[in-house]
Structure 1
């Protein structure tokens, strides 16, 4: 909606860059530490690290921070930025605590998920030059493709239509085959009413 209203690709590119950074950073830590969740815990009091899990940090929490925080990042007025920041904080807080309540994450997973999401949002200003360059190249490519399409339309020749050509819906007669007898067309003479000679008045009339 923001891209459509402002006629720019920056909001979409900012969201794409944030999600790319989030998946690369959080995904790498998840696979590197391999922590098990509460449902798969095997030892009381153990951190359950390097056991083949993928829950640390909480990806749901970090994703909520980035997805909703990007709205505040793209806000154009201070008032909208304050409201959207509060909204994103409430949503991210609710998502993180819900995962703890459901037993899918430890509290430390959620804390690091919040921190990871905030770090991604803080790193977005450093990505602005790359985002601006990508937008310029995409728009330039769009303009080149549009120009080529217009050139092709200009090069397509238009067939001239003769003034004495056949009328729309006219179908020419089918030529007779070699073994087909030729039928003669008998014309019907048009009858015209006889014209009456004007009556002449007699001398005594």
Structure 2
């Protein structure tokens, strides 16, 4: 029979999972958009999505607070715009190229929405299918609220597509939840 090392004395104290006095507990309600936080707190914010706060990882490895009803912090917006700039531009005229182009914009908007906790509209350039059954390069506002025709804003003029997306966002019940990220051309 083998005895535990503490068999002739006091058992070791059980490890506690409770925060100790030297571990700073942060009240999420005190965090401001743009605050820099550590990775552990960012992961905690990203696990508990009920309050909408996100810990967004920047390219340099730091984490920044994003609040759902406040504008993106400048560093987060700059990173989102860099992601948009890095998208491949698909400008053919086939259905396959239109599908690939649409997927690029939708994936960017979806990914940024997940990472920021905000509703993202991605204005991107690529192959677009028009209601007259033509397929050609143009601008699209992926994940925008839909217009009267039930479509995302599309067109040849980037500024006009952005303006239409902005007008549609302004009509929503909480326009502060939305951000528009525009791919440079």
- Given the two structures, how large is their TM-score scaled by the length of structure 2? 0.24
Considering Cα pairs closer than 8 Å and 6+ residues apart, tell me whether 1 or 2 has the greater RCO: 1
TM-score normalized by structure 1? 0.22
Question: Whose strand fraction is larger, Structure 1's or Structure 2's?
Answer: 2
